[in-house]
A = this chain, B = another copy of it.
Amino acid sequence: MSKSNFLEDFIVEQKITHAIPRTLTEGDSSIYISLTGNRHPLYCAQTFSNQLGFSKTPLNDFLVFHIAFGRTVQDISLNAVANLGYADVRFIKPVYAGDTIRSESKVIGIKENSNKISGIVYVHSITKNQDDDEVLSWKRWVMIPKNNKDAVIKESVMEELPKTVSIDNIQIPKDLNVSNFDFSATGSSRVWDDFNDNEFINHSRGLTIDETAHTLATHLYQNNAKLHFDAHMMKGTAFGQRLIYGGHIISLCHSISFEGLENALNIVAINGGVHSNPTLAGDTIYAKTIVIGKDKIDGRDDIGLLRLRLIGIKNLPSSSLDSIYQENTNDKIYNPNVVLDLDYSVIMPRGK
């Protein structure tokens, strides 16, 4: 029987093949648009993706990420108390309708908490397509309780995770060609060269989340973590209701961020990410982007990389957020309205 693991069940260097390969389809892409309001033409317009050199329309990178991630939940995080963070997430190859993906993981670190009732497990997961090509690689860490309080945990200290995906590890889709880029399809002529370091973009859309919308999304990803679906169980918790899958918040914020970043193309990396506060049905999500880096790409003067910090905010328009962190604190404690702090990199065409 498929089992879910507690802290004492993980062993460093252990490899786990996750069940349930999944064929992605155009239907998944349509539902994703329905759930997020995504408007990036790269993911929804065959004419546009063809002009960029792709023979088929790439699936939304975050849709692929969430489905890839969904495979790992049963073995890694079904019992998790919290999803603590992501690092070194690499989008290696676009995934298209008709591709079948499967995920596997390796445990790369275990650290027991001082309370001795839980600990942190670090895993490195990869996702391959039906041709055995790696399409995604990522690291995440989760807090997992012990099942047996007396179990002795064999800890394994790890090297620190990289703060960014290094440029050497970034893959530009091999077909990508922006020589015929159609700026009328994106609605903006603002390109890589026009963005400035530390520039803020207050995206104006707000998207309110209802119970059905987030459960449909999380089901679509076949993510079976119980706390997203079981209101009866959640009534007995401090939250009192179902918690929203953090990945749904990423997708909403990314969709909201189209306004102001219309020419953003494929996502190539998530350098790091934190779900800084929980979200519940009824919350309205807003987003802000801060440009935190601009990288040129060797041998390509037609495209560049923007490193973006995407801040998700609940129940407060982006333009009204004074500070990402609480003031008057020495530690960087997030403002209670900030629900997402995601550092990612996208390709954008450069000016002529």
Contact = CB atoms under 8 A, between A and B. Distances in A.
Contacts of A47: 21, 23, 100, 102, 130
The SS class assigned to the A binding surface is mixed
Contacts of A230: 205-208, 284
Interface stretch (A82-90, A146-154, A213-221, A324-332): A213-221
A161 interface: no
Given A26-B25, A47-B130, A34 B210 contact: no
A274 interface: no
Contacts of A206: 226, 229-230, 232-233
Contact of A31 (B30, B36, B212, B262): B30
Given A39-B224, A215-B213, A219-B37, A25 B29 contact: yes
A76 to B, nearest CB: 13
Contacts of A232: 206, 208, 284, 315-317
A206 B228 CA distance: 10
Contacts of A224: 37, 39, 205
- Report, as a range, how many residues of chain A touch the other chain: 35 or more
A48 B21 contact: yes
A297 B136 CA distance: 43
A190 interface: yes
Contacts of A98: 46
B23 A45 contact: yes
A188 B213 CA distance: 31
Interface stretch (A118-126, A179-187, A301-309): A179-187
Interface in A66-107: 74, 98, 100, 102
Interface of A: 1-2, 17-23, 25-31, 33-39, 41, 44-48, 57, 74, 98, 100, 102, 130, 184-188, 190, 204-208, 210-213, 215-220, 222, 224, 226, 229-233, 242, 259-260, 262, 282, 284, 315-317
7 contacts: A1-B262, A23-B57, A31-B31, A206-B229, A208-B231, A210-B211, A212-B212
